[in-house]
Structure 1
Amino acid sequence: MLKKVYKDLFDLAGTSGNEKNVRGYMKADMEKYPNYKIETDRLGSIFAVKKAKDPKAPIVMVAGHMDEVGLIVVGITSLGMLKVEPQGGLNGEVFISQVLNVYTKNGVIKGVIGAIPPHLKKEQGTAFSDLVLDIGATSKEEALSFGVSLGDMVLYDNPFCYTKNPNRLISKSIDNRYGCGLALEAMRAFHDIELPYTLIIGATVQEEVGLRGAETSVNYFKPDVFLVLDASPVNDALDKDALGGLGKGFLLRMYDPKNIMHQGLMAFFTKLSKKHNIKMQHFVSMGGTDAAVALDLNEGVLATTIGLPARYIHSTAAMMDLRDLDEARKMLYTVLKTLSPKLIQELKESNS
């Protein structure tokens, strides 16, 4: 059964730049644990910080990201239709005929996405410029009277449910409330454990639109090690030979276009997972995570991703397997219990 913290986070609405609901939830949880000091940067990323006794101790940072992909209102037509654009990597086809929520200053209102009928289109494929969000208004003036404003967040209801297979569930925002939930779990688990390094644990903002929060946060905290918790897309439902699949363990992202995994760090993760019987899958992705931006900041940071396999992310609903979450949790906790100043220094030198 999925822990309550994840379901709570999945249900919250929060696109890039509109993460306040998620940040508020995380802050309320962090405030229950007095061994941590809560710190934020100017973009809105939030972290619980537990300093080591040694002021010269290394810094280990663990981060999910709060934002989910979604839409933003960019126009209102004379007929009262809303024009929208994506925040994050999304395809227009995903939204045709979908009932959506517009988060206005007066509250949430419903609408449905309409599109040019296929037999009237000049080209196949659906661009966001082809879509209109119909909120039932008869004019621009009426749409404005509903409280709609340019810049409003647009999302979908959470279809959260378990499949017939009780290990698998469907939800919106698995990418990346998984990372937020696991960060909070780890914060609680290590609250009373004295560590030989400073632990910084929380979540960033605006990952889906350019890894922005990670850049400001890493510049602010200057970690020696940066462990990213993020969901990653797997295609095992369609390709039996695909790298990564549900129910086979966490993903060790050894390559994406912005981050070739540090060889010493890869050897450390591989050895540790084998020693502790933690299921791990080597993984390659064409998309990036917050680890990519940390990699080349501050003279270089040991940065990698503990990934959760997920099908169909960057759409209105995705699927995950609870057993993979268990393995990701085991790996994170094992890494945090194993790291030491000496080991961190050895890892830094292992690629030179």
Structure 2
Amino acid sequence: MNDANARERIKAGLKRTLNDLSRLHGISGFEQSVVRYTQTRFGEYVDDVETDRYGNITATKRGRATTAPRLMVSAHMDEIGFIVKGIEPNGYLRFDRIGGAGDALLSCRKVDVKGHFGLIGSVSGHLGSADQLSRVTPLKELYIDVGACSAEQVAAMGIAIGDPVSFVGELAEFSGGDRVCGKGMDDRAGLAILIQVLSELKGEMPHGSVHAVATVLEQVGHRGAAMAAYRIKPDYAIAIDGVPAGDTPDLSSTKDVPCTMGKGAVVLLATSSGDINVRGNIAHPAMKRFVLEAAGREVPYQFATTIGRGSTEAGLVHMSRDGIPAISIGVPRRYSYSPHEMIDLNDAAAAVDLIVRFVRGMEGHGDLGFL
């Protein structure tokens, strides 16, 4: 992507898609609005779009060579959020967590409750004790105010136990650059990248078949990707996701996460979700080689590891059937799991360029061996 005009066009396309996606609500298990949007967008660029019983969407570009390796490229549609677990007689809602939003990020946040505006309540600044005002309120003590005065009024609004709750945080742009923020960038940014990749490849027939998959239920254990990988039986796979940036004053890009905003796409070499190295992925050597060949000297990229700090769908995809060589590609993301996650569109455009080059180079991907 040496052409500056092409770069600006891709960034503009990403921004339009992110603007759409940041307005949609789709926590894990309730991704319907994002599924409908993605079905339409995928349909603009490929001939074959399938949606399974759980909502995973597969857009297939058939390859020229029927014996060539089959590639799966995935990004997840779901976002973190909450679920209504109880309704107080005076109309306040109690809720549980779906995904990883930390307690410190919750008080006084705007939320959507099944299409109704709400606020996560907090003790008044004038009435709270010094202890109350200085401590982080745990989720079990929090409540949601939807403007109702009774449980009966809540019921009349159509809100019930089990209904989804998501952050409100539409796309906002920072002055003087290409940085934007909004809710659900994990992984709406990855989904926007996947859609833009298909747009760039429109009308092309790759060497091998490409299966672009928008998945569900990632925030609760990468479940949708596992379903899709088992069904598609790809020969190799790329998972697109965000990577926590380590370049803010409260973090270190060496001690915490070696990932800096504005320095290009992130190639994840090792991931895991816990203190021990489980539920993650170590980049397959062939996949690393293919990605670096695709990047060459033209695409800016950076390496990162996130051991104990989060995994991607590659963590389950690579274990499907008899093993699928996999790697993760993403973008640096600040303020993860908040309603205002931040990315740089130049990094996202670099990820688009990298994956498009990878697909166009599939003819050279014959050797998927470990050695």
Are positions 1:303 and 2:315 aligned together? no
Equivalent residue for 2:260?
245
Q: Contact (CA 8 Å) 1:253, 1:261: kept in 2 or not?
A: yes
After TM superposition, give the deviation of residue 90 of structure 1 in Å.
0.9
Equivalent residue for 2:355?
332
After TM superposition, give the deviation of residue 52 of structure 1 in Å.
2.5
CA–CA distance in structure 1, aligned partners of residues 200 and 226 of structure 2: 27
SS of corresponding position for 1:307: strand
Q: Contact (CA 8 Å) 1:19, 1:205: kept in 2 or not?
A: yes
CA–CA distance in structure 2, aligned partners of residues 300 and 25 of structure 1: 32
Q: TM-score, normalised by structure 1?
A: 0.91
Equivalent residue for 2:18?
6
Aligned letter for 1:284? T
1:295-325 Cα offsets, whole Å, 9 max, x none, are: 1112111111111111011111111111111
After TM superposition, give the deviation of residue 202 of structure 1 in Å.
3.0
The one of 246, 260, 264 equivalent to 2:286 is 264
- Which residues in structure 2 correspond to 1:1-352 (within 5 Å)? 2-3=12-13, 4-33=16-45, 35-103=46-114, 107-114=115-122, 117=128, 119=130, 124-238=135-249, 239-242=251-254, 243-257=258-272, 258-273=280-295, 275-285=296-306, 286-340=309-363, 343-346=364-367, 348-349=368-369, 351-352=370-371
1:129-163 Cα offsets, whole Å, 9 max, x none, are: 01011223232222212221112121232242211
Aligned letter for 2:30? N
CA–CA distance in structure 2, aligned partners of residues 191 and 146 of structure 1: 44
Q: Contact (CA 8 Å) 1:291, 1:305: kept in 2 or not?
A: yes
CA–CA distance in structure 2, aligned partners of residues 77 and 52 of structure 1: 57
After TM superposition, give the deviation of residue 180 of structure 1 in Å.
1.3
Structure 2: gaps spanning 5 or more residues: 1-10, 273-279
1:185-208 Cα offsets, whole Å, 9 max, x none, are: 222222311222111113100101
Range 24-33 or range 283-292, more displaced:
24-33
After TM superposition, give the deviation of residue 225 of structure 1 in Å.
1.4
Residues 112 and 124 (structure 1), Cα distance of their counterparts in 2 relative to 1, 3 Å cut: closer
CA–CA distance in structure 2, aligned partners of residues 42 and 253 of structure 1: 30
CA–CA distance in structure 1, aligned partners of residues 346 and 82 of structure 2: 31
After TM superposition, give the deviation of residue 99 of structure 1 in Å.
2.6
SS of corresponding position for 1:194: coil
Aligned letter for 1:282? F
Aligned letter for 1:301? I
After TM superposition, give the deviation of residue 126 of structure 1 in Å.
2.9
Aligned letter for 1:279? P
1:234-274 Cα offsets, whole Å, 9 max, x none, are: 1201235340011001111111121111123223323432x
Aligned letter for 1:231? G
Structure 1: gaps spanning 5 or more residues: none
After TM superposition, give the deviation of residue 88 of structure 1 in Å.
0.8
| Number of equivalent positions | 343
Aligned letter for 1:272? A
Equivalent residue for 2:277?
none
CA–CA distance in structure 2, aligned partners of residues 221 and 233 of structure 1: 29
Range 259-268 or range 109-118, more displaced:
109-118
CA–CA distance in structure 1, aligned partners of residues 47 and 121 of structure 2: 44
Identical pairs, percent: 27
Q: Contact (CA 8 Å) 1:96, 1:113: kept in 2 or not?
A: yes
Question: Runs ≥4 in structure 1, deviation > 4 angstroms?
Answer: 115-121
After TM superposition, give the deviation of residue 37 of structure 1 in Å.
0.7
Q: Contact (CA 8 Å) 2:182, 2:342: kept in 1 or not?
A: yes
After TM superposition, give the deviation of residue 79 of structure 1 in Å.
2.3
CA RMSD of aligned residues (A): 2.1
CA–CA distance in structure 1, aligned partners of residues 193 and 184 of structure 2: 14
Aligned letter for 2:176? N
Q: Contact (CA 8 Å) 1:115, 1:132: kept in 2 or not?
A: no
